[in-house]
Amino acid sequence: MQTVDDLGFKLDLPAQPRRIVSLVPSWTETLFAFGAADEIVGITRFCVEPAEAVAAVPKIGGTKNPDIKAIVDQRPDLVIANAEENRREDIERLRADGVAVFTTFPRTVASAVESILKLGSVVGRPAEAGAMAREIVKSVSEIETGLGAWSKLRFRVFCPVWKNPWIAFNGDTYAHDVLRMLGFNNIYATAGERYPRVTLDEALELRPDYVLLPNEPYEFDAKDVEELKPLLPPALSRRVVLINGRDLHWYGARMVDGLKTLSALLSRVRAATV
Protein backbone atom coordinates (compact mmCIF):
# COMPACT_ATOMS: atom_id res chain seq x y z
CA MET A 1 0.00 0.00 0.00
CA GLN A 2 1.41 3.38 -1.06
CA THR A 3 0.11 6.64 0.30
CA VAL A 4 1.18 10.27 0.75
CA ASP A 5 0.50 12.14 3.99
CA ASP A 6 -0.51 15.79 4.39
CA LEU A 7 3.12 16.92 4.29
CA GLY A 8 3.84 15.06 1.07
CA PHE A 9 5.77 12.25 2.77
CA LYS A 10 5.41 8.95 0.91
CA LEU A 11 4.66 5.80 2.89
CA ASP A 12 5.03 2.26 1.60
CA LEU A 13 3.03 -0.09 3.78
CA PRO A 14 3.32 -3.84 3.12
CA ALA A 15 -0.28 -4.41 4.25
CA GLN A 16 -3.19 -2.80 6.03
CA PRO A 17 -1.94 -1.66 9.47
CA ARG A 18 -2.94 -4.03 12.26
CA ARG A 19 -1.13 -2.22 15.08
CA ILE A 20 -1.70 1.55 15.23
CA VAL A 21 -0.45 4.20 17.66
CA SER A 22 -2.21 7.57 17.63
CA LEU A 23 -0.48 10.71 18.89
CA VAL A 24 -3.48 12.93 18.10
CA PRO A 25 -6.58 13.05 20.37
CA SER A 26 -9.02 13.96 17.60
CA TRP A 27 -7.70 11.21 15.32
CA THR A 28 -7.88 8.69 18.16
CA GLU A 29 -11.58 9.47 18.51
CA THR A 30 -11.92 9.16 14.74
CA LEU A 31 -10.18 5.78 14.57
CA PHE A 32 -12.64 4.40 17.10
CA ALA A 33 -15.50 5.89 15.06
CA PHE A 34 -14.12 4.06 12.02
CA GLY A 35 -14.40 0.81 13.98
CA ALA A 36 -10.63 0.32 14.26
CA ALA A 37 -10.61 -0.28 18.03
CA ASP A 38 -8.87 -3.66 17.77
CA GLU A 39 -5.92 -2.13 15.89
CA ILE A 40 -5.18 0.70 18.36
CA VAL A 41 -2.26 -0.34 20.60
CA GLY A 42 -1.12 3.03 21.95
CA ILE A 43 -2.42 6.55 22.50
CA THR A 44 -1.38 9.71 24.37
CA ARG A 45 -2.69 10.61 27.80
CA PHE A 46 -4.60 13.45 26.12
CA CYS A 47 -6.56 11.00 23.97
CA VAL A 48 -9.68 11.01 26.13
CA GLU A 49 -12.47 10.17 23.68
CA PRO A 50 -14.33 7.88 23.50
CA ALA A 51 -13.80 7.77 27.26
CA GLU A 52 -14.72 4.15 28.00
CA ALA A 53 -12.86 2.75 25.01
CA VAL A 54 -9.58 4.65 25.51
CA ALA A 55 -9.34 3.72 29.18
CA ALA A 56 -7.98 0.28 28.34
CA VAL A 57 -5.47 1.39 25.69
CA PRO A 58 -1.79 1.75 26.74
CA LYS A 59 -0.66 5.38 27.15
CA ILE A 60 2.66 6.38 25.59
CA GLY A 61 3.18 9.89 27.01
CA GLY A 62 1.88 13.21 25.79
CA THR A 63 1.46 14.81 22.40
CA LYS A 64 4.58 16.95 22.85
CA ASN A 65 6.62 14.44 24.81
CA PRO A 66 5.74 10.92 23.68
CA ASP A 67 7.73 7.98 25.02
CA ILE A 68 9.50 6.91 21.83
CA LYS A 69 10.75 3.65 23.33
CA ALA A 70 7.27 2.74 24.51
CA ILE A 71 5.93 3.40 21.02
CA VAL A 72 8.61 1.28 19.34
CA ASP A 73 8.05 -1.49 21.90
CA GLN A 74 4.44 -1.71 20.73
CA ARG A 75 5.74 -2.73 17.28
CA PRO A 76 3.28 -0.47 15.45
CA ASP A 77 2.64 -0.85 11.75
CA LEU A 78 1.66 2.82 11.69
CA VAL A 79 1.79 5.91 13.89
CA ILE A 80 -0.74 8.70 13.32
CA ALA A 81 0.72 12.17 13.98
CA ASN A 82 -0.09 15.81 13.36
CA ALA A 83 2.34 18.52 12.24
CA GLU A 84 0.82 20.98 14.71
CA GLU A 85 0.24 18.87 17.80
CA ASN A 86 3.38 16.72 17.61
CA ARG A 87 7.03 17.71 17.38
CA ARG A 88 8.93 17.15 14.17
CA GLU A 89 11.91 15.72 16.05
CA ASP A 90 9.72 12.99 17.57
CA ILE A 91 8.30 12.09 14.17
CA GLU A 92 11.80 11.95 12.72
CA ARG A 93 13.04 9.77 15.59
CA LEU A 94 10.23 7.30 14.99
CA ARG A 95 11.03 7.15 11.29
CA ALA A 96 14.71 6.66 12.11
CA ASP A 97 13.64 3.66 14.19
CA GLY A 98 11.87 2.21 11.17
CA VAL A 99 8.34 3.18 12.20
CA ALA A 100 5.92 4.33 9.49
CA VAL A 101 4.37 7.70 10.43
CA PHE A 102 1.34 9.25 8.72
CA THR A 103 1.36 12.98 9.47
CA THR A 104 -1.76 15.11 9.06
CA PHE A 105 -1.99 18.91 8.86
CA PRO A 106 -5.53 20.15 8.14
CA ARG A 107 -5.84 23.94 8.23
CA THR A 108 -9.35 24.34 6.85
CA VAL A 109 -12.65 22.53 7.21
CA ALA A 110 -12.29 21.24 3.64
CA SER A 111 -8.75 19.95 4.18
CA ALA A 112 -9.88 18.25 7.41
CA VAL A 113 -12.43 16.33 5.36
CA GLU A 114 -9.66 15.37 2.93
CA SER A 115 -7.53 14.17 5.85
CA ILE A 116 -10.41 12.01 7.07
CA LEU A 117 -10.59 10.34 3.66
CA LYS A 118 -6.81 9.82 3.57
CA LEU A 119 -6.76 8.41 7.08
CA GLY A 120 -9.64 6.09 6.31
CA SER A 121 -7.81 4.80 3.28
CA VAL A 122 -4.50 4.22 5.05
CA VAL A 123 -6.09 2.28 7.94
CA GLY A 124 -8.33 0.22 5.69
CA ARG A 125 -11.61 1.99 6.47
CA PRO A 126 -12.41 3.90 3.24
CA ALA A 127 -16.16 3.24 3.41
CA GLU A 128 -16.44 4.47 7.00
CA ALA A 129 -14.34 7.54 6.21
CA GLY A 130 -16.42 8.28 3.13
CA ALA A 131 -19.66 8.11 5.11
CA MET A 132 -18.22 10.41 7.79
CA ALA A 133 -16.98 12.89 5.18
CA ARG A 134 -20.37 13.02 3.47
CA GLU A 135 -22.12 13.66 6.76
CA ILE A 136 -19.73 16.52 7.58
CA VAL A 137 -20.08 18.09 4.13
CA LYS A 138 -23.86 17.94 4.52
CA SER A 139 -23.68 19.62 7.93
CA VAL A 140 -21.37 22.36 6.65
CA SER A 141 -23.67 23.03 3.71
CA GLU A 142 -26.67 23.32 6.05
CA ILE A 143 -24.78 25.64 8.39
CA GLU A 144 -23.63 27.94 5.59
CA THR A 145 -27.09 27.99 4.01
CA GLY A 146 -28.66 28.78 7.36
CA LEU A 147 -26.48 31.83 7.89
CA GLY A 148 -28.60 33.91 5.56
CA ALA A 149 -27.92 37.62 6.13
CA TRP A 150 -25.27 36.77 8.74
CA SER A 151 -22.97 35.67 5.92
CA LYS A 152 -22.65 39.36 4.97
CA LEU A 153 -22.90 40.91 8.44
CA ARG A 154 -19.92 39.18 10.02
CA PHE A 155 -19.13 39.98 13.61
CA ARG A 156 -15.50 40.25 14.71
CA VAL A 157 -14.24 37.86 17.37
CA PHE A 158 -11.28 37.59 19.69
CA CYS A 159 -10.79 33.90 20.41
CA PRO A 160 -7.65 33.19 22.46
CA VAL A 161 -6.26 29.69 22.89
CA TRP A 162 -4.11 30.55 25.91
CA LYS A 163 -3.86 32.99 28.81
CA ASN A 164 -0.74 34.39 30.54
CA PRO A 165 0.36 35.12 27.92
CA TRP A 166 -2.65 35.60 25.67
CA ILE A 167 -2.22 33.59 22.47
CA ALA A 168 -4.52 33.84 19.45
CA PHE A 169 -4.51 32.16 16.01
CA ASN A 170 -4.28 33.52 12.48
CA GLY A 171 -6.04 32.70 9.22
CA ASP A 172 -3.83 29.70 8.46
CA THR A 173 -5.50 27.51 11.08
CA TYR A 174 -8.40 25.08 11.24
CA ALA A 175 -10.07 27.02 14.08
CA HIS A 176 -10.03 30.20 11.99
CA ASP A 177 -11.78 28.43 9.14
CA VAL A 178 -14.41 27.04 11.49
CA LEU A 179 -15.20 30.57 12.68
CA ARG A 180 -15.29 31.78 9.08
CA MET A 181 -17.71 29.01 8.16
CA LEU A 182 -19.91 29.99 11.11
CA GLY A 183 -20.06 33.59 9.90
CA PHE A 184 -17.46 35.32 12.11
CA ASN A 185 -14.27 37.26 11.40
CA ASN A 186 -11.20 36.36 13.44
CA ILE A 187 -9.52 39.65 14.42
CA TYR A 188 -6.06 38.02 14.17
CA ALA A 189 -6.62 36.51 10.72
CA THR A 190 -3.75 38.51 9.19
CA ALA A 191 -1.22 38.00 11.99
CA GLY A 192 2.23 37.01 10.75
CA GLU A 193 2.50 34.04 13.11
CA ARG A 194 0.05 31.17 13.16
CA TYR A 195 -0.28 31.49 16.94
CA PRO A 196 0.73 35.05 17.88
CA ARG A 197 1.31 36.20 21.43
CA VAL A 198 -0.90 39.22 22.02
CA THR A 199 -1.99 41.55 24.78
CA LEU A 200 -5.55 42.32 25.78
CA ASP A 201 -5.03 45.99 24.89
CA GLU A 202 -3.89 45.00 21.39
CA ALA A 203 -6.93 42.80 20.97
CA LEU A 204 -9.28 45.58 22.06
CA GLU A 205 -7.70 47.95 19.54
CA LEU A 206 -8.94 45.56 16.83
CA ARG A 207 -12.51 46.18 18.01
CA PRO A 208 -13.92 42.68 18.53
CA ASP A 209 -17.70 42.31 18.82
CA TYR A 210 -17.39 39.08 20.82
CA VAL A 211 -14.85 37.28 22.95
CA LEU A 212 -15.02 33.49 22.63
CA LEU A 213 -13.25 31.47 25.31
CA PRO A 214 -12.75 27.77 24.46
CA ASN A 215 -11.99 25.22 27.15
CA GLU A 216 -9.14 23.72 25.09
CA PRO A 217 -6.19 23.90 24.91
CA TYR A 218 -6.34 26.38 27.81
CA GLU A 219 -9.27 25.50 30.03
CA PHE A 220 -11.14 28.79 30.16
CA ASP A 221 -14.04 28.67 32.62
CA ALA A 222 -16.56 30.91 34.37
CA LYS A 223 -13.87 32.32 36.65
CA ASP A 224 -11.93 33.58 33.62
CA VAL A 225 -15.09 35.23 32.29
CA GLU A 226 -15.63 37.11 35.54
CA GLU A 227 -11.98 38.18 35.66
CA LEU A 228 -12.09 39.41 32.08
CA LYS A 229 -15.37 41.32 32.07
CA PRO A 230 -14.18 44.35 34.14
CA LEU A 231 -11.27 44.80 31.70
CA LEU A 232 -13.55 45.14 28.67
CA PRO A 233 -15.74 47.95 27.34
CA PRO A 234 -19.31 47.64 28.72
CA ALA A 235 -20.88 46.34 25.49
CA LEU A 236 -18.14 43.77 24.92
CA SER A 237 -18.25 42.61 28.55
CA ARG A 238 -21.77 41.33 27.83
CA ARG A 239 -20.50 39.34 24.85
CA VAL A 240 -18.00 36.98 26.46
CA VAL A 241 -18.96 33.41 25.63
CA LEU A 242 -17.55 30.08 26.81
CA ILE A 243 -17.42 27.48 24.04
CA ASN A 244 -16.40 23.85 23.73
CA GLY A 245 -12.79 23.80 22.56
CA ARG A 246 -13.16 20.37 20.99
CA ASP A 247 -15.99 21.64 18.79
CA LEU A 248 -13.65 24.41 17.62
CA HIS A 249 -10.28 22.65 17.39
CA TRP A 250 -10.90 18.93 16.90
CA TYR A 251 -11.31 17.58 13.40
CA GLY A 252 -12.37 14.10 12.34
CA ALA A 253 -15.33 12.42 14.04
CA ARG A 254 -15.90 15.44 16.30
CA MET A 255 -16.87 17.49 13.24
CA VAL A 256 -20.02 15.44 12.70
CA ASP A 257 -21.82 16.88 15.72
CA GLY A 258 -19.35 19.49 16.99
CA LEU A 259 -19.74 21.95 14.13
CA LYS A 260 -23.55 21.84 14.39
CA THR A 261 -23.41 22.24 18.17
CA LEU A 262 -21.07 25.22 17.96
CA SER A 263 -23.15 26.75 15.17
CA ALA A 264 -26.34 26.46 17.22
CA LEU A 265 -24.73 28.02 20.30
CA LEU A 266 -23.26 30.97 18.43
CA SER A 267 -26.48 31.50 16.50
CA ARG A 268 -28.35 31.89 19.79
CA VAL A 269 -25.67 34.19 21.17
CA ARG A 270 -25.70 36.31 18.05
CA ALA A 271 -29.49 36.57 17.96
CA ALA A 272 -29.65 37.54 21.63
CA THR A 273 -27.15 40.40 21.37
CA VAL A 274 -28.34 42.14 18.22
Q: What is the pTM of this model?
A: 0.94
Rounded to the nearest 10 degrees, what angle do helices 109-122 and 25-34 cross at? 60
Which CATH fold would you assign to the domain 2-105? Rossmann fold (3.40.50)
CA 30 to centroid of chain Cα atoms = 12
pLDDT for position 258: 97
**pLDDT exceeds cutoff 90 at 172:** yes
Whether domain 147-273 has CATH 3.40.50.720: the reply is: no
**Omega before 50 within 30 of 0, i.e. cis:** yes
Chain segment 92-141, per-residue pLDDT in tens: 999 999 999 999 999 999 999 999 999 999 999 999 999 999 999 999 99
DSSP H helices in 74-213 = 88-96, 109-122, 126-147, 174-181, 200-205
**Omega before 217 within 30 of 0, i.e. cis:** yes
Residues of each domain in the chain carrying CATH 3.40.50.1980: 2-105, 147-273
CB 117 within 8 A of CB 129: yes
Chain segment 194-243, per-residue pLDDT in tens: 999 999 999 999 999 999 999 999 999 999 999 999 999 999 999 999 99
For the segment 81-91, the average pLDDT, to the nearest whole number, is 96
